[in-house]
Amino acid sequence: MSFNNLDQLYRSVIMDHYKNPRNKGEIEDGALTVDMNNPTCGDRIHLTLQVEDGIVKDAKFDGEGCSISMSSASMMTQLIKDKKVEEALELADIFSKMMLGEDFDDEKYDLGDVEALQGVAKFPARIKCATLAWKAMEKGVKEGE
């Protein structure tokens, strides 16, 4: 597949998550709750996590922001569901490395749609948009320990 076709595919995946977000909403009753924002561009996220026996049983988000921020939150909540907390944190580390253009072990985990955000690394001003939900998740699971 040519670079232009791959780039277009990634854009389509990002826009699909932005227009049709997965896991949008809030978990009631005892969920870990994290509110974070990116004052640089106004992105805001309200993340709720249900963690039981060291496993992320559910993850939902609400908020407002650019397509990169909101699609990243949608992708992240899909990816971490039913993962051990340690795995979710590893995925956050892998995602951070991907955003910085560093090498990462892409064979240990299937990143699925998250790979569509790789191109964000070329735009340093947008990295904070892409990582907001991931930073919120890291904060939430660490506070919940």
**Mean model confidence pLDDT for the chain:** 92
pLDDT tens, position by position, 109-125: 889 999 999 999 999 99
Residue 81's pLDDT is 97
Q: What range defines the domain where residue 33 resides?
A: 3-143
Task: Count Cβ atoms within 10 A of the Cβ of residue 41 and give its class: 0-12 exposed, 13-18 middle, 19 or more buried.
Answer: middle
Question: Which pLDDT score is estimated for 145?
Answer: 73
Query: For tokens 């561009």, what's the residue?
Result: 41
Residue 48 parent element (H or E): strand 43-52
At residue 1 the predicted structure's pLDDT band, cuts being 50, 70 and 90, is low
Calculate what percentage of the chain has a pLDDT beyond 90: 77
Number of domains comprising the chain:
1
Q: Can you give the CATH number for the domain in which 23 is found?
A: 3.90.1010.10
pLDDT digits (tens, 9 = 90+) for 3-53: 567 688 888 999 999 999 999 999 988 899 999 999 888 999 999 999 999
Q: Which of 62, 6, 5, 16 minimizes the C-alpha distance to 36?
A: 62
Name the residue with higher pLDDT: 102 or 2: 102
Residue appearing with tokens 């890291």: 138
Q: Which pLDDT does position 10 carry in this prediction?
A: 85
Is residue 69 packed enough to be buried (19+ CB in 10 Å), middle (13-18) or exposed (0-12)? Answer: buried
User: Are 81 and 60 in contact, with CB atoms under 8 Å apart?
Assistant: no
pLDDT in tens, 81-100: 999 999 999 999 999 999 99
